[in-house]
Chains A and B, each alone.
Chain A
Amino acid sequence: MKGETVIEVRGLINRFGSQTVHENLDLDVYRGEIIGIVGGSGTGKSVLLRTIIGLVRPIAGEVRVFGENLLSLPEERRSQVERRFGVLFQSGALFSSLTVAENVALPLIEHAGLPRMDATRLAGVKLALSGLPVDAGRKYPSELSGGMIKRAALARALALDPEILFLDEPTAGLDPISAAAFDSLIVTLRNALGLTVFLVTHDLDTLYSTCDRVAVLSQKRVLAAAPIDEVARTDDPWVQAYFNGPRGRAATFAAHKGKD
């Protein structure tokens, strides 16, 4: 499975005021894998994601995406690299003044230079790809349910056919059925489009059903990054509590039952 490294984080330090979030954090993400990032609240999962996509400037350390350090690139080059990844924010972050279809068509018009007509048609296909009904495209984000917003945001993240997809808690706030559907959608898209997926989540079922590897953030660094069964055996109180707590056991049971 180990292919080319697409994201490389070395010696990352993030600090807000006197509070240190990351201390010498290292992480590698390989092409074509789905990596799940887990950790307790406040361990800096979202901060790590935001650092990798260049929204947070680290105190020290280096983040390379496709071998490029985003923060040191000139504006033009940076924008080119940024087009190669799509981001699904925690609450969707759809532009509320645009319809769903316009939200998806926006990057196509702005970056790929497509005429509005073609962009809208292509946006319709992306929406269908994310499992939304066609009439959803004409609605405004405030008219959609939580699950539909996530799907629409996924369609926008996929608009430019990115190579890396960043998902920040994609199944949070979804009912179990929608969450399971979203999980299988991500696996399907990864297989069809050859995506690399960087997934921040709390959802144990998502971890078991989608992730190739799991990275545990704890004590300000990556405690373990390995396939899930291996990680679950790590001798660390937090990891043990996480994977062998009542929810963890239920998810493990469900996952193994599914495989049988």
Chain B
Amino acid sequence: MTLPSAPGSAILTRDAGGARLALTGDWTLVHYMELQARANELAGTVGNDVHVDIHALGAMDTSGAFVIAEMLGSRRTQTLSQDESLPPARRALLKTVGDAIDTYCKGVKKPRDAGFVVLLERIGKGMGSFWKQTLKLLAFIGITLQGFASTVLRPRHWRMTALVSHIEQTGLDAVPILALLSFMVGAVVAFLGSTALASYGASIFTVDLIGFAFLREFGVLLTAILLAGRTASAFTAQIGSMKAREEIDAIRTLGLDPVELLVLPRVLALLVSLPLLTFIAMIAGIVGGGVVCLAVLKMSPSMFLSMLQADMSLTQFLVGIAKAPVFAFMIGVIGCMEGFKVSGSAQSVGEHTTSAVVQSIFVVILLDALAALFYMEMGW
């Protein structure tokens, strides 16, 4: 097929004896475009009275046979394939393709047109799936709480090894990146504060800005967003690939509870590590801001610390850290739930991993906004 070959041709002649269609040359995939064009020209003119002669045909493969069969129609192809004077291999090929084209043509449907109605339909479907998604999330939260309630009083069902291993993966391993990230954001906030407050002659309050920002908001938010990206995706991928390889089904048939085995250790590990990481993020952020204060505002370390101590009450810290367990729970639950929703393919694992990250970041920011409103109304 890689040899150079003469493209096939079809010549229609009419004389006293009737019309004849002579096919010559190679009818192969290499010449598909030319053959298709020629066949389209002839399609209307080849009536049932035309005698088809393919004895001079060169090479023919399924593509060529398809073009011929389409031009002649499946019934005439069948007649042609019964011609005893043709080699048996060629007749078999014509017959096979003729049969195939028969099944193929029967089932072809028109593609749907894309228009306004389709747009509306997609919006509707989107709303429907958002609603279903919310219900599923609530249901999964319920299942997780139920699993927790049923194992909490039975120490034999505590998966300590898994729990500790997940604390290491989600907590300890995330410390360096989180500390660095918070340190840099702290420095950026301090720069921003010192520049903006300088025009009021109040650049000394940069210290308060850093303190408030990190204790109340940034510490916990940065940690939660980092873990949503780092841990929720890992949970989904781990559980998802287990689901794809039927390991979850195996757990069920062994009479074990996948929630107890897979979900609880992960969610509990996050409940332990996220508050601890939040604390580290707060410290790192304040240190980052402090370094900028020392360098840019020429403040002494003792002054920075004494201002921080005077202006920051314990409430600020508690208000911030109180959000950590809630975020941890939601990130863990969403990560695990998306893992359980994976079906069969490798692509599905990818889709649900993305979905887990997007959802958990969305939920974290939504809850944070609600908490800010609540704290403001409470005057905390």
Binding site for B on A (CB under 8 A): 80-81, 83-84, 96-97, 108, 112-114, 118, 122, 124-129, 133-135, 140-142, 158, 160-161, 163, 188-189, 191-194
A interface footprint on B88-117 (CB within 8 Å = 1, 0 otherwise): 110011011101111110111000000000
* In the complex, chain A residues whose CB is within 8 Å of the CB of B36: 118
Decide: A161 near B345, CB < 8 A? Known: A80-B2, A188-B96, A194-B89.
no
Complex partner residue of B33 from A114, A125, A134, A163, CB under 8 angstroms: A114
* In the complex, chain A residues whose CB is within 8 Å of the CB of B347: 96-97
- The answer to whether the Cβ of B343 comes within 8 Å of any Cβ in the partner chain is yes
A125 close to B101 (CB less than 8 A): yes
* In the complex, chain B residues whose CB is within 8 Å of the CB of A135: 107
CA distance A178 to B32 in the complex (A): 33
Complex partner residue of A112 from B2, B29, B95, CB under 8 angstroms: B29
Stretch in B58-66, B219-227, B304-312 with 4+ CB within 8 Å of A: B58-66
The size bracket of the interface on B is 20 to 34
Decide: A193 near B32, CB < 8 A? Known: A129-B96, A135-B107, A140-B345.
no
* In the complex, chain A residues whose CB is within 8 Å of the CB of B376: none
* In the complex, chain A residues whose CB is within 8 Å of the CB of B88: 191
* In the complex, chain A residues whose CB is within 8 Å of the CB of B359: none
A122 close to B66 (CB less than 8 A): yes
- The answer to whether the Cβ of B348 comes within 8 Å of any Cβ in the partner chain is yes
A-B contact count (CB 8 A): 85
Question: Lowest 3 A-B CB distances belong to which pairs?
Answer: A134-B107, A142-B344, A128-B100
B30 close to A112 (CB less than 8 A): yes
Decide: A114 near B62, CB < 8 A? Known: A134-B108, A192-B95, A193-B93.
no
The 23 listed contacts between A and B (C-beta, < 8 Å) are A80-B2, A96-B345, A96-B346, A96-B347, A97-B347, A118-B33, A124-B104, A125-B66, A126-B62, A126-B100, A128-B100, A128-B103, A129-B96, A134-B103, A134-B104, A161-B1, A161-B62, A161-B63, A188-B96, A189-B96, A192-B89, A193-B93, A194-B89
Q: Shortest distance in angstroms between A105's beta carbon and chain B's nearest beta carbon?
A: 12
* In the complex, chain A residues whose CB is within 8 Å of the CB of B97: 125, 129
- The answer to whether the Cβ of B28 comes within 8 Å of any Cβ in the partner chain is yes
B103: nearest chain-A partner, CB-CB: A128
CA distance A94 to B23 in the complex (A): 37
Q: Shortest distance in angstroms between B99's beta carbon and chain A's nearest beta carbon?
A: 8
* In the complex, chain A residues whose CB is within 8 Å of the CB of B101: 125, 128
CA distance A114 to B33 in the complex (A): 7
CA distance A114 to B347 in the complex (A): 27
Q: Shortest distance in angstroms between A235's beta carbon and chain B's nearest beta carbon?
A: 38
A114 close to B93 (CB less than 8 A): no
CA distance A183 to B193 in the complex (A): 77
B32 close to A112 (CB less than 8 A): yes
B62 close to A193 (CB less than 8 A): yes
